[in-house]
A and B are shown apart, each in its own frame.
Chain A
Amino acid sequence: MRTALAIARKELSIYFTTPWAYAVFTAMVGISSFFFMGLLQTFKDVQEMAQAFGWGQMPPDTVAYRNLTDGVVVQLWGVILIVTLFVAPFLSMRLFAEEKRNKTFELLMTTPVSPLELVLGKYLGGLGIIGATLGLTIVFPLMLSAFGSSASGTVLEWPTVLLGYGAVLLWGATCMAVGMFISSLTESQMVAALLTFAVMLPWMLLRGLAQSAEEPVRSFINYLAFDAQLSNLLKGVLDLKALVFFFSVILFSLLLTHRTVEAQRWA
């Protein structure tokens, strides 16, 4: 495990000393803040309208705007999930593909590092960088907490906010695991990024297919859809099955990566 941590540390130091990571950070914060401001403006407009007419006169779809947690933060996490779908492939693409392209992968395989340690180390490094990227977005609820107000004094429902944030991190960790496996298959970083995106996007939107299917196919597809699994977590309901599902995808992706790396020794 110590070797794996050392590899993770090395990976992180590489990430944080390349301008590429900062470009990704900037993109993540820039896009998120753009949506955050949009949501905040809508929230403010609906609240002003509700003050004038009363909540009883407001359309049913404005009920989410009664509070900042539902009206802004829960919706913001939904947006960040989509942004992560675009950002994560660019962070995961280099994990193995870069080593292969630079011909350092063979060198790595000759060192006394087991494939398991290598995979775990690389993944922990990737987890660190996606965690840092998504970590920046916590600044938005913090800002709301500083400027908002409510009768009880607590502006945001922090258990809901933090559970939603945990869901976003879990989603990021899953994207990194799948992305790392795809990165281990190719030496082209761009191919790795595009393939990761091509796999994760339809998987994320699988729920749309379920709309036209009947039971039990509907339930089956809904279970496999990332979107459906995340919806409860984002709303503030800790679902055991969602955790099991995400950890299963991560575990299986790590296993496949491990076998791909191990295959180099047997080729």
Chain B
Amino acid sequence: MRTSSVGKILGALGLMFLLSSPFTLFFTSGSVALTAAKAVAGLVLLGVYFATHFQQFGQVATRRSSFFFGTSVLLGVVTLGGLVAVNYIAFKKNKSWDLTRAKLFTLAPQTSTTLGGLKEKVHALAFLPPSHPYYDTVEQLFRLYQAEAPEKFGYAFKDPQRNPDLAAKYQLKEGQATVVLVRGEGASASHTTLNTISEQELTNALIKLNAVGTQKVYFLTGHGEWPLESEPPAPGQPSDSLSELRKQLLQEGYTADELNLAGQKEVPRDAALVIIAGAKTPYTPPEVEALRQYLAAGGRMLYFAEASVEPKLDTLLAEYGVEVDKGIAADPQFNSGNPYVLVSMFYGEHELTRPLRQRKLNLEFPTARSLTVLRQGMAPGVTAQAVVLTSPFAWVETTPDADATPSDGEKSGQLTLVAAAMRDTKSAQDKRFDEARVVVVGDSEILLDPNWGHEANRNLVLNALGWATNQVEKITIRPPDREVSTLEIDRDMLDNIRFVSTDLLPLSLLGVGLAIWLSRRNK
């Protein structure tokens, strides 16, 4: 075979290698090394072609047509460059007009207002693999949000399998379609997650993220409450602090701080929530009075009881319809091997536990106090409700060290473990919020670092926190829809339409064509 023929074949192969190298990178192996090897091999083979046809090129260069070819290539490249630039600008600064009557593809006014009111840029991270069926839908939604407020909303897609560290950081479950909204950067970043992705959910998540950023949560101290951070524990010993809870609060956008009420006349004005986590010594009357005034003005409080101690808050709690029973709750059937370590899947009808009920999660209380929801003797405007209960077989063990069986005089039946109360404070003087909210939980140990890994308990605490601090009503965005239109035709009419469209119309056109063909043939 002649050298020029071999050169031609090699050149063709080289061109094939070179042109298909992006395909290797993006669609087949994804290997940069293989792509580079293919591209280099292609260039070498093309080089062989040029070397074997060098003389021919020299002749062509002198031809008149070469000038035309050169200018054409130049013109093509310049035009293509211009068009690419115009398209790039159009892509980046796209304008679109929703011509549908119900504005089906336009964001709701509530969303526009929410985006406009964002204090900091929010970044949405969608943990979806590229092959996920909702990928395009979510991207379209994000694009609308970004077009509405480019400086306040950004987004990115992350494949959870390729970014396991990031997925772990946000505690995402495998196979779950999740969007994480992150506000701020670094240590001060706060985030919230959502699983169902719709405009309503996304906008509500933005509202939540925008609102919680400024909320301060105070942990009361001075009465043996669990500390936010403790001294390093002895080797092998678990840390009895609330550092994991604190970390979670920071991630959720709250600021956590300690507060000692001794010598204070009132709870600070910036308190969005006060938490009493396992107080072991009695509160003084001025401290109780400060809490009473705080709640009467629409304050929010979470109280986590500690076993076998009385911090003298019973009068205050009774005003909010909750009494902490003397003794420890026990259950012979729904426990985790010890009648005092209760397992509960019994939820009251309350929005606080709705997500837990939906996910059928079992709560676990290491040593819980049971509660009584009072029906009288409360402060005006208070309504209290049982939120989490034991099984119907439980009882209150008043002498847990002596025996673990129900005795005469001990309360038994389905006991309350978590209760929530609300009080209308719209007309209160110097009010903080329109409504006071109190959640009483029969166990404080669920907050400790070693127990924080229990998913159901963590959900309970965070839901209680969210419910108690909730100041923003969720908005409802009704998905717009086109007007319902019907086709009022009977079977005969449908047959007529079928006849016209599939029979008469095509045949008429065919007939015209036939007539033209015949008339031309006869000419």
Contact = CB atoms under 8 A, between A and B. Distances in A.
Whether A and B are associated in the same complex: the answer reads yes
Nearest to A218: B130
B131 A237 contact: no
B68 A263 contact: yes
Interface in A1-54: 17-23, 25-26, 29-30, 33-34, 36-37, 40-41, 43-44, 47
Interface string B135-154: 10000000000000000000
A237 B144 CA distance: 12
Contacts of A237: 96-100, 105
Nearest to B95: A240
Given A22-B513, A144-B487, A160 B99 contact: yes
Interface stretch (B204-212, B302-310, B495-503): B495-503
Interface string B502-522: 100111011011101100100
Contacts of A235: 100, 104-105
Given A40-B497, A44-B494, A69 B488 contact: no
A248 interface: yes
Contacts of B64: 266
Interface string A223-264: 100000000100111111100110010011001100100110
B482 A66 contact: yes
B72 A259 contact: yes
A22 B130 contact: no
B99 A236 contact: yes
Q: For chain B, what secondary structure do more than half of its interface residues adopt (helix, strand, loop), or is it mixed?
A: helix
B484 A66 contact: yes
**Closest CB pairs A-B (n = 4):** A22-B513, A150-B485, A33-B501, A19-B517
Contacts of A63: 481
B513 A259 contact: no
A198 to B, nearest CB: 16
Contact of A255 (B26, B76, B494): B76
Nearest to A157: B101
B505 A29 contact: yes
B513 A21 contact: yes
B505 A33 contact: yes
B79 A252 contact: yes
B485 A155 contact: yes
Contacts of B325: none
A83 to B, nearest CB: 13
A26 B484 contact: no
A152 B483 contact: yes
B34 interface: no
Contacts of B482: 66-67, 69-70, 157
B501 A256 contact: no
Given A22-B512, A143-B500, A67 B65 contact: no
20 contacts: A17-B516, A22-B509, A29-B505, A29-B509, A67-B485, A70-B482, A140-B501, A143-B497, A147-B488, A149-B486, A150-B484, A159-B100, A159-B101, A163-B99, A239-B94, A240-B90, A248-B86, A252-B80, A259-B72, A266-B64
Contacts of A30: 502, 506
A150 B486 contact: yes
A200 interface: no
B19 interface: no
B231 to A, nearest CB: 47
Contact of A212 (B75, B131, B505): B131
Nearest to A27: B506
A139 B505 contact: yes
Given A33-B501, A70-B482, A259 B76 contact: yes
B107 to A, nearest CB: 13
